[in-house]
Amino acid sequence: MSSLERIERIKESGGWLERYRHDSASCRCPMTFSIYLPPQAEQGPVPAVYWLSGLTCTDDNFRTKAGAQRYAAELGLALVIPDTSPRGEGVPDVPERYDLGQGAGFYVNATQAPWSEHYHMYDYVTRELPALVEAHFPLVPGLKSISGHSMGGHGALICALKNPGAYRSVSAFAPICHPTVCGWGEGCFGAYLGDDREAWKAYDATELVAAGAAPIPLLIDHGTDDEFLPDQLYPQDLETACRARDFPLTLRMQAGYDHSYHFIASFIGEHLAYHAAALK
């Protein structure tokens, strides 16, 4: 396990917002993540909420736009915020596209060249990063929940559904609920995973629920004015799959909200309170 290089430390809401760089075994390149340690971490262990961001984002978007640290400080939650993909020289990319390559890891383990050498964000988020955090931050033990936005909402859902018992709770903002049937998902899954659409289903929340994933309550918010709602997100498909299995889903359609961080900032306090209750 590689050592961490701290590259930033900022006092915020009584705690510390820190950023680290390390050599990733999963992604085979340097990776960056941020962690917020609330003031309660100075007194004893605190649980963590992992946040997965969406297309084009780095760890910086959430930590600067969502206003989450104030709520995390009140609730005694650590926040762990990874990047959305491997990056750097030698890491494949499609610079003319925002929805494939760097900034668009889609939280899968790629099996197809040239992506398969570096694009293993699923292993990074579910295995490598938690092990790294728990080893280097003894006051952040293995008690954790997960959340995310858009592509990261998709990531949060599949991480929880594919790893029963690993997370106490899961929530998502505007997640891509059925990526195997939408343009974003088809483009990335075809590139990263190949032409076998059956293999894609292993990274699709709607398909995982329909195939018998162990129940975990899902909290999902969508904005009714989200420009991507009709053609990319498909919450109705996940709702249908959950209803067929009596799978616990709270799907909230928030009137007038769009896909932006204004939407996330409006409800992040409720989501973190939801996770804090599950993490007690």
Instruction: Kindly give the residue spans of alpha helices, DSSP state H, lying in 78-224.
Output: 121-123, 129-136, 151-162, 183-193, 197-200, 205-210
Q: What is the dihedral of CA 175, 120, 208, 252, to 10 degrees?
A: -10
Spatial CA neighbour of 188 closest among 263, 82, 84: 84
What is the token pair recorded at 169?
């709770």
Q: Point out the catalytic residue in the list 26, 34, 145, 150.
A: 150
Instruction: Select which of 154, 178, 259, 275 is catalytic.
Output: 259
CB atoms within 10 A of CB 105: 32
Bridge-based pairing state of the strands 218-223 and 15-24: unpaired
Known catalytic membership, residue 116: no
C-alpha–C-alpha distance, residues 148 and 144, integer Å? 14
Count of Cβ atoms closer than 10 Å to residue 136 Cβ: 15
Maximal CA-CA distance, the chain: 51
Element (H, E) at 218: strand 218-223
The residues with which 10 forms a beta bridge, in sequence order, are: 17
- Is 221 an annotated catalytic residue? no
**Residue position matching structure tokens 């998502």:** 172
The DSSP secondary-structure symbol of 2 reads P
**Catalytic status, residue 204:** no
Tokens of 158: 């599949």
Which residue matches tokens 């762990």? Answer: 80
Active-site option among 83, 93, 204, 226: 226
* Length, in residues, of the chain: 280
> How many C-beta neighbours within 10 Å does residue 1 have?
11
Q: Which residues participate in catalysis according to the annotation?
A: 150, 226, 259
